[in-house]
Amino acid sequence: MVRRHKRENSDTLLTRMTLTTPRYVGIDLGTTNSAAAVFDGEQVTAVRNAQGASLTPSVVRIDGRGNITVGARARRYLERDAKNTRGEFKRLMGTSQDLAFASADITRKPEELSAEVLKSLRKDIEDQFGFAPQRAVISVPALFELPQNAATSEAARLAGFEQVELLQEPIASALAAGWSAEESAGSWLVYDLGGGTFDASLLETRDGLLRVIGHDGDNFLGGRDFDWAIVDWLLAQIKQQTEVELSRSKPEHTAAITRLKQLAEEAKIELSRNESTEIAIIELPVPGGDPLDLEVSLDREMLETLCLALVDRTLDVCTRLCKTHGLDPGGLHHVVLVGGPSVMPIVRRRVQQVLQVAPTEGLDPMTLVARGAAIYAATAGLDARPESRPEPVPESQRVWLQHPAMSSDLTPHVVGKLVDSEPDKAPGEIRVLRSDGLWESPWTEVDEEGAFVLSVTLIPRRPNIFRIEGRRGPEQKVAIEPPTFTIVQGLTISDPPLSRTVGVALANNRVRVYFERGAPLPVRRTFNLRTVETVPAGSEECILKIPIVQGEFDDAHLCRLVGSLELRGEKLKQHLPAGAEVEVTIELDRGGRMSARALVPSLDQVFEQVAHLLVPEATPEVLAANLEATQQRVIELRAEAFQAKIISAIGRLNSIESRLASLETDVAAAAGGDTDAAQKARRAFLELDAEIEQIELDKRWPELEEEARETVIWASATIADFGLPHEAKLLTDTAKAIEQAKNNRDALELQRQLRLLARLGSTASLRHPHAWHHRFERAASKADQATDLVAAQALVKEGKVAINKDDVPALRRITQKLWQLLPDDPEDRKLGHNSGVR
């Protein structure tokens, strides 16, 4: 937010070529469509492309000769020439997935394709505004993972941008809406229904400060689901009319399905304006049959019936978000709708019904994000104009200025420092004058460090240009470089918050939290960790991993691995003993790009290479296996929940099951070669896993209580019969502690006390004359699970002989041997991403 005239730039002080005031550029790099906007301090203008549209489809085509086409012209080929045309590659950002273009026989990374879209937008700006932007703000989804952010930055670099900042989409929307609103104080809800995701963000403006209060969303719900609902309906219609059965999970039907989906999308858009539409299906390719021709009519009522459940799911998210932040229904002041699918009349109607506030009118939901990004560029001081060398002003004094580029404050501070000043030529006093001539600051003394602090007064809602003057004596004026600076009065936006907690996974499967969710970006933090294992120098197979994870869970294995610092034996100068200190620093810039470094002070060596900063790949086989396992887990849990009559768990399991159903289609689509659906499914599984884990934890409580009850009864009986006085005393203490833990619902403490009680009881039970007899029986009953069956059976035989002889020492020896052959009690072995630090 502070505009920085960098020290290294200070000796080539810059003037702007043709434009007197700064221009700020914002870009919405969308999944289906992209847009750009330019802000001049007063007005935000959406950029139009060569076709005159403000939206450029995010589609890239590379033909056999290597010619690249982007946008609407490429989109036409999406269906006709799918092998050479690619769309929706945003979802693959940050993965290692290469996209092939068959005719040209080349592959491109998702970020390279995004770069083509950015280049095209950059060209449009140049055509319309006369300059090629060097700096810009690009919006990213709020829940983008770190590798995806990194890929977006890379795309911008490839497109020729010198500097970009990333901004979360909901903040961009709110910023745009807040800028255009007359009266902007209060709570905002940004309802962002995109192609594949739904995001709801709660914001608040007060005293000109825009602040994000919270996010929520559904990563598995978007406009495409509406399209799929129509496609499914179409498939049913086709089957009914022609008896041809097409399926989304069959790779050979892909061409037909893609075609239907496009028709569905068009029909959906059409129905936003009209009451009904005719869908003309012409020459639909059917494998092993003649192409189909038929016409289906779809009206708005039918469409709304198909989509109502989906719309209501988005509204559930909104009400949940409001409730979490203590906002009653009706407590909202504004609702802003963003994204193509949000123009559907049913969305507007349901929003108004449920949230009890009319969506803000007069905003273009398609370019809102780009507009917001452009305004944000102003608050970040990212002037997009190219730089040029200044006219050398003789005898001028250079100053290094610090001030907010945009501020809600009417009287912000301006801080400055003289650069390379000579004692006899430096100004002793500085003042600033506003360009309208209606305000000037008093002369302010420059201190011994050559610094000065001034308070300036701004005119609301416009760019304010100030001139700086310096003087040595009352008469001797000194020219100042730069002679002017600009501050826009508008909104102050809080620093972008981090969307997910970031930390380092430790060897004990815990997480050392570096930054909590909501921490203002940029951030940097260093913690001293210690290695748990020796890494010999020169050893190739020994690698010490420092896994970096993202997520809000205490257990590392539940969080997502987003990168890993690796201390490789072959790169070490000397042995790195266990227990050695490692200073691990993680840094995130404003756009959420991560860098990490590990310094080993004892070796004086730095490791900076973050390995596999990639979204893991999702193969269809793994996904299918995952699906099956998850379904099985849900079925088991549900049965248990029914038995135990845990209503809340049943409710949550139902919701998981409904999501699993939609996941099934994604997994099927992944098997059909849809890599995008595969990524979507992968993320869905991670979230579902975490949720199921939580349910299991909750479910364990009644079980634990039951176990506690039984253990107390058993231990009391055993200790009463065979216990010693001090054991009886301990039993009373432990029983009391168990009761207390039960009251506090402290599962950990309860388990601890139970372990203690079990030991007490088993110690006492050993005094039972037939103690070893019982133990042997119990062990023998599990002999079929032994690791060595033959040995176990032999031991069982021996044991029976010992019982007959009443040889207790022998029986005991045999039982202990038998125990060693039996599998350990089933405890989960959870690995903290193989972390080598504690």
Q: In this complex, which beta carbon is closest to other proteins, that of residue 186 or of residue 483?
A: 186
Q: In this complex, which beta carbon is closest to other proteins, that of residue 122 or of residue 431?
A: 431
Q: Does 763 bind other proteins (CB under 8 A)?
A: yes
DSSP 21: S
Q: What's the min distance (Å) between Cβ of 801 and other proteins?
A: 24
In the list 162, 270, 364, 409, the residue contacting other proteins (rule: CB under 8 A) is 409
Residue window 321-340: x/- pattern of binding to other proteins, with contact defined by CB under 8 A: -----xx-------------
In the list 508, 619, 648, 654, the residue contacting other proteins (rule: CB under 8 A) is 508
Q: What's the min distance (Å) between Cβ of 784 and other proteins?
A: 21
In the list 756, 786, 802, 803, the residue contacting other proteins (rule: CB under 8 A) is 756
Residues 685-744 that bind other proteins (CB under 8 A): 726-727, 730
- Tell me the β-bridge partners of 825: none
What number of chain residues touch other proteins (CB under 8 A)? 83
Q: Does 585 bind other proteins (CB under 8 A)?
A: no
Residue window 437-466: x/- pattern of binding to other proteins, with contact defined by CB under 8 A: ------------x-x-x-------------
Residue whose structure tokens are 């049965």: 639
Binding piece for other proteins, criterion CB under 8 A, among 116-124, 225-233, 254-262, 573-581: 573-581
Residues 588-607 that bind other proteins (CB under 8 A): 602-603
Per-residue CA distances from 692 to 1, 632, 697 (Å)? 41, 12, 9
Q: Does 398 bind other proteins (CB under 8 A)?
A: no
Per-residue CA distances from 404 to 60, 250, 377, 432 (Å)? 39, 57, 12, 15
User: What is d(CA 153, CA 432) in angstroms, rounded to the nearest whole number?
Assistant: 37
In the list 16, 597, 752, 800, the residue contacting other proteins (rule: CB under 8 A) is 752
Q: Does 163 bind other proteins (CB under 8 A)?
A: no
Q: What's the min distance (Å) between Cβ of 208 and other proteins?
A: 8
Q: How many CA atoms lie within 13 A of 717 on its CB side?
A: 5
Strands 444-445 and 429-434: antiparallel
User: What is d(CA 467, CA 451) in angstroms, rounded to the nearest whole number?
Assistant: 17
Please give the structure tokens belonging to residue 217: 């969303």
In the list 372, 412, 551, 620, the residue contacting other proteins (rule: CB under 8 A) is 412
Q: What's the min distance (Å) between Cβ of 42 and other proteins?
A: 22
In the list 123, 157, 211, 471, the residue contacting other proteins (rule: CB under 8 A) is 211
User: What is d(CA 59, CA 86) in angstroms, rounded to the nearest whole number?
Assistant: 6
In the list 709, 759, 770, 805, the residue contacting other proteins (rule: CB under 8 A) is 759
User: What is d(CA 312, CA 710) in angstroms, rounded to the nearest whole number?
Assistant: 46
In degrees rounded to 5, what are phi and psi of residue 452? -150, 150
Q: Does 541 bind other proteins (CB under 8 A)?
A: no
Q: What's the min distance (Å) between Cβ of 5 and other proteins?
A: 10
User: What is d(CA 98, CA 720) in angstroms, rounded to the nearest whole number?
Assistant: 71
Residue window 601-640: x/- pattern of binding to other proteins, with contact defined by CB under 8 A: -xx-------------------------------------
Q: Does 9 bind other proteins (CB under 8 A)?
A: no
How many Å from the N-terminal Cα to the C-terminal Cα in the chain? 37
In degrees rounded to 5, what are phi and psi of residue 309? -60, -40
Q: What's the min distance (Å) between Cβ of 698 and other proteins?
A: 20
Question: Is the Cα torsion angle 222, 223, 226, 228 positive or negative in sign?
Answer: negative
In the list 390, 483, 522, 616, the residue contacting other proteins (rule: CB under 8 A) is 522
Is the distance from CB of 117 to CB of 58 less than 8 angstroms? yes
In the list 245, 299, 581, 608, the residue contacting other proteins (rule: CB under 8 A) is 581
Residues 12-71 that bind other proteins (CB under 8 A): none
User: What is d(CA 564, CA 609) in angstroms, rounded to the nearest whole number?
Assistant: 8
In the list 239, 461, 477, 573, the residue contacting other proteins (rule: CB under 8 A) is 573
Residues 6+ apart with CB under 8 A from 489: 406, 407, 408, 410, 458, 459, 460, 461, 462, 464
In the list 497, 551, 591, 620, the residue contacting other proteins (rule: CB under 8 A) is 497
Q: Does 520 bind other proteins (CB under 8 A)?
A: yes
User: What is d(CA 173, CA 192) in angstroms, rounded to the nearest whole number?
Assistant: 9
Residues 807-836 that bind other proteins (CB under 8 A): 824, 827, 829-831
Residues 6+ apart with CB under 8 A from 64: 84, 103, 104
Please give the structure tokens belonging to residue 604: 């004086």
Per-residue CA distances from 43 to 40, 318, 463, 490, 543 (Å)? 6, 31, 10, 12, 55
